[in-house]
Amino acid sequence: MWHQLLKEIQQGNSKALARTISLVENEFENYFDLLQLLPVSSAKIIGITGPPGAGKSTLTDALIGEMIAQHTKVGILCVDPSSPFNLGALLGDRIRMSEWYNHPDVFIRSLATRGSLGGLHPKILEIADVMKAANFDFIIIETVGVGQSEVEIAGLADATVVVVVPEAGDEVQTMKAGLMEIADIFVVNKADRPDADSFVKNLRTILTPAHKTGIPVIKTIASQKEGVKELFEKINDQLQITATTDRKYFLMAERAYQLIEQYRMKDISKEYLRKEIESKQYPNLYQFIQQYFN
């Protein structure tokens, strides 16, 4: 079964790819056997993150257009927030990418975070590796944009793009310890708004040697496709740097750590913990936790 699915994925069968992602997402029996069959891929992962309302989906749509114009194959994983109660999600903003859904060189899949604090899907590492087997040139992962906890994207992407808007001055200050540490490229989107130039100048000032030097800050107006070509050039530059430095080993170690952590915790869920606490009426939460340390 797995060998046949993998063969179909490598041949560009989008239905087989979609089905396999669902099997991995829902932890179908023995799905780990498929993961061990996945070949080494040269596909590069681009993470697009930033605060809600920054225009990430519109920018992603514009980037797809730029990539397709250069005759490349693109896979997109769009991660949306989910309800903390039923883990479902409204995947409404995918309408911004509607023109690409039937394009033969574009594959788009929406995923819900299912309560993951990092702003990503709990199976995002495995799903991204399945996507890489489909011979895409680029894989774009657009995240929820939940703030400092979203540094998880740094362990997944070969290049991380952080999108902000000119009005985000105070917000950028609060992001210093999180998103600003993992950004390879900053995008100031909606740059036609007032004070955009002043914001860009201040942002470059914030990026002191204590953080990162030489980090590009690109102005875009994604809705009008302005600045997107320059952004794609900078992304390509970053991907070349990533490929020739020790960062690739850091990324692999991050991915391995997250996968091992995930599988060791697979028998423990929030729902299980809630029922245990409710049934045993622990007066002290730390007494309850202690049993998992023994």
pLDDT in tens, 86-113: 444 455 545 667 778 789 999 999 887 6
- Percent of the chain clearing pLDDT 90 (strictly above): 35
Same domain flag for 31 and 46: no
Let me know if residue 106 belongs to a domain: yes
Residue 274 lies in a domain: no
Full residue range of the structural domain in which residue 9 is found:
1-37
Does 219 fall in a domain?
yes
Task: Give the residue with greater pLDDT, 242 vs 151.
Answer: 242
Mark whether 16 and 153 lie in a shared domain: no
| 92 within domain boundaries | yes
**Of the candidates 245, 260, 286, which is a domain's last residue?**
245
Per the structure, the count of domains in the chain is 2
Interval 140-180: pLDDT, tens: 998 866 444 455 666 678 898 989 898 766 666 655 555 66
Q: Are residues 8 and 78 in the same domain?
A: no
**Within this chain, do residues 72 and 11 fall inside the same structural domain, yes or no?**
no
Residue with tokens 């596909």: 43
CA torsion sign for 148, 156, 166, 53 is negative
The set of residues, in sequence order, having a beta carbon less than 8 Å from that of 119 and lying 6+ positions away, is 49, 79, 113, 143, 144, 145, 146, 149, 150, 152, 153
Region label for 195, one of left (φ > 0), alpha (ψ between -120 and 50) or beta (otherwise): left
Domain boundary among 245, 263, 283: 245
| One domain, residues 140 and 5 | no
Tokens of 15: 């239905």
Do 73 and 15 sit in the same domain of this protein? no
Whether 55 and 186 map to the same domain: the answer is: yes
Q: Are residues 6 and 19 in the same domain?
A: yes
Q: Residue 64 belongs to a domain with what CATH number?
A: 3.40.50.300
3-state secondary structure of 182: helix
| Same domain, yes or no: 94 and 222 | yes
Q: Is residue 229 part of a domain?
A: yes
pLDDT of residue 84: 45
Q: Are residues 102 and 161 in the same domain?
A: yes
Same domain, 89 and 205: yes
What per-residue confidence (pLDDT) applies to 96? 62
Do 16 and 97 fall within a single domain? no
- What is the sign of the dihedral through the CA atoms of 66, 229, 141 and 89? negative
